[in-house]
Structure 1
Amino acid sequence: MPDVQSQKDLRNVYIDKVGISDIVYPIVVLDRENSYQSTVGKINMYVDLPEDFRGTHMSRFVEVLNNHKGKMTIQNMEKILDDMREHLKSVTAHFEVEFDYFVMRKAPVSKIESYTPYKAKFICEKNDNFDFILEVIVPIQTLCPCSKEISARGAHNQRAKADVSVRMRHIVWIEDLIDVAESSASTPLFTLLKREDEKYVTENAYDNPKFVEDVVRDISLKLEDDDRVMWYNVKVTSYESIHTHNAYACHEKWKDLKK
C-alpha cells in the first residue's frame, strides 16, 4: 500500500513537534511506600519532522507505548524516548504523562485514614541528552496574614494549589514534593475529617497565616537545601475567597551544581 506519510514535501518547513496528544492509557508508577501504584495517564508523544517528510506515522507512537506496557519510571522514560526516535527516525522525542496519584493520609487528631488525590506529571525530552522533569500539583490552604492582622473576628482563608517541578540528580519521590508543599502551607487539606480534626485544621491555619509569596519562598528554601534537586520551579495560586481574582506567585532557579 502507498506510504503517503513518507512522500517528499517541497515546502521546506521543519516541524518541531508532531505526534499524538491526550491518549488515555493505564500506567504503573513508582510509589515510595508501596513500590508501585497503578493509575491512568493522559499522554502526549511527539517527535520532530524533517522538512522533506510530508507526515509522521501516528500508529508507531501507540506501538511504542504498547511495547512498554505502561511502565513509567525515570529509567523507562528514556527507553521510550529512544524507541520513539528509532521507530520514527527522528532526532528529538518528547513524552508527557499526567496522572492522578493517591496517598493514604491520616487525619491529624482522629488518625482516621483516607486517600488524598494529587496530580503528577512527567515531562521528558531526548536528543543528544535526556531531560526529565517531575511536576506535582498539591492542594493546600492559605490564610491571609493581612486579614488576620486587621480583623477582630477571624481571617479569610481559601483553598490554594502549589505546583512544584524539579530536575533531579537522584530520585525525588512524588511524596517528597507533596511533603514539602504541605509543610509550607497554612495547613494541608484532607479527604476525611472528624470534628476534632476540623477544629485542629482550622486553628492550625489561623496560627500559620501565609501569603502566596510566603508559600513560594518556604518551598523554594526547602528545595534549595535538597542536594538531590538541581533545578526547581514553584508556582502557588490562591483561589481568593473575598476577591474575584486569584493570587499568584512563582519562583524558578537552577542551583549551583558545584555544591
Structure 2
Amino acid sequence: MTLPDIQNTKSDYKFSLNRVGIKDIIKKVRIVKDSEVTEFPAKFSAYVDLPKELKGIHMSRNPQTIQDVLNELTFKPSSHIEEFMRKMSTHLLSRHEYATIAEVECDGIVVIEVPNERTGKQQKAHPIKVKAISKKENDQVKTRVFLNISAFGINACPCAKDLMIDYANEIISERREKFDLNEKNIKNILDIMPIATHSQRCKGSLTIEIPDNLTIDLLKLINIIENSMSAKVQDVLKRVDEAKLVRLAHLNPKFVEDSCREMAIKVVEGFPNFPDDCEVTLEIEALESIHQHNAYAQKQATFKKLREEFKKS
C-alpha cells in the first residue's frame, strides 16, 4: 500500500516560508571533556525554509535528526557543544532536499564547578544557548555557529559613590575643628573608608560566533563576563566574606557602560586567533535597586571592528 505524500503536493499559496519546523523538544545533552562528563537537559528547536511550490515540510525529519546526532554522542562523545550543533544543522539540511537553510537551536543550563576560597569548590548554573545555521551557497553548505552564555555579578554605582564622598566630606569638614583635621587628613580618611553607594545584581551575556576550526571554553566566557563587573556574586557568604565582597565591589564601581566596554576589551585580548568576520554581541543589564527601571548596555560588532576600536583606545 502506497500512502500519499501530502507535503510534496503543490501549495495553494504563492508565498515561501522562512522557518518551518519543531520547537522546544527536550533532550539530554552529554559532553565529555578530559574524562569529565557533563550532562544537562536542553530544549531543541529545528527549522528549515520552505519554497512556495510545496505544501509543507517533512516534519518528522527534524526530531529524527536531533535524536540521531544525540544517539551518536553516546558512542562518539563530543567535547564541545558547538561541534555536535554544527553536525545537527548540516544533517538537517541534507535531509530536506528542497530547503536552502536549516537552523537548530539548543537552550539549556550548564552547571560548572568553580574555585571557592572557603569551600574549595562551588557549583554555578549558567544559561546557555547555541544556534547553528547551515545555508546552501553555490553547491556548497556553509554553517555558522553562535554560542550565548550568561553570568551574574554585582555593580556598584560610581555616580552615587561620588555624591556620598562629597556628602561625607561636607559632614567631616563641618567638624574639622572638633576633631583637629585639615583638608589633607580629611582626604586621606575618605580614601581608606568604605563609602556607601547603591549596588545591583547584573546579568551579563556574551554571544560569540565560533568558526569551524576552533572551539571555545565556557569557563573562559564566564570569567570574561564576571570579571567585567564590580564583583562576583556568591551562593554562600559568611559574615566576613560578605563584608569583603561588599568592600571589593565598592572599591571597583562601574556603570553598565563600563562593564560592557570591559567585556569588549577582554574578548579582543582573549581570542586573538578568531577571524575578523566572526560576530560578537555583549550585553549587560543591571537590575536596579533604587529605580523602577533597569539599566542596559549592548555592543554588537565583528572581531575586526572590535580590534580596530581597541587599537584606537
| TM-score, normalising length: structure 2 | 0.77
Q: Secondary structure at the match of 1:83?
A: helix
Of 134, 145, 150, 1:132 maps to: 145
Once the 2 structures are TM-superposed, how far is the Cα of residue 199 of structure 1 from its aligned partner? Answer: 1.8
Identity of aligned residues (%): 25
User: Which residue of 145, 160, 163 maps to 1:147?
Assistant: 160
Output the CA distance in 2 between the equivalents of 1:104 and 1:7: 53
Matches within 5 A, 1:7-26: 7-26=9-28
Equivalent pair of 2:132/2:144 in contact (CA under 8 Å)? yes
SS of the equivalent of 1:68 reads helix
Distance 2:250 2:35 in 1: 34
User: Which structure dedicates a bigger proportion of its chain to strand?
Assistant: 1
- 2:253 is equivalent to residue 205 of structure 1: no
Contact kept? 1:23, 1:43, Cα under 8 Å? yes
Q: Does 1:76 align with 2:78?
A: no
Question: 1:35 Cα deviation (Å)?
Answer: 4.2
Match of 1:54 in 2: 55
The answer for the alignment partner of 1:27 in structure 2 is 29
Separation in 2, partners of 1:131, 1:30: 23
Q: Tell me the equivalent position of 2:174.
A: none
On the 8 A contact 2:42/2:109 being kept in 1, the answer is yes
The residue aligned with 1:244 is 292
Structure number with bigger Rg = 2
Report Cα offsets for 1:130-163 as digits up to 9, x if no partner: 1011111111111101111112461111111011
Q: Which amino acid counterpart does residue 201 of structure 1 have in structure 2? A: L
For residues 187-216 of structure 1, give each alpha carbon's deviation from its aligned partner in whole angstroms, at most 9, with x where no partner exists: 111222222221221111111101000000
Unaligned runs of 5+ in 1: none
Amino acid at match of 2:248: N
AA in 1 matched with 2:126: Y
Structure 1 residues 76 and 58: alpha-carbon distance in aligned structure 2, compared to 1, 3 A threshold: same
Q: 1:102 aligns with which of 95, 111, 123?
A: 111
Distance 1:30 1:14, change over 3 A: farther
Q: Which has the higher helix share?
A: 2
Change (3 A) 1:52 1:64: same
User: Equivalents in 2 of 1:73, 1:116: separation in Å?
Assistant: 18
Greater shift after overlay, 45-54 or 189-198?
189-198
**Separation in structure 2 between the aligned mates of residue 239 and residue 49 of structure 1, nearest angstrom:** 41
Q: 2:283 aligns with which of 213, 235, 240?
A: 235
Residue 196 (structure 1) aligns with: 240
**Equivalent residue pairs, number:** 257
Contact 1:44 1:96 in 2 (8 A): yes
Residue in 2 that maps onto 1:256: 304
RMSD: 2.1
Superposition deviation, residue 105 in structure 1: 2.6
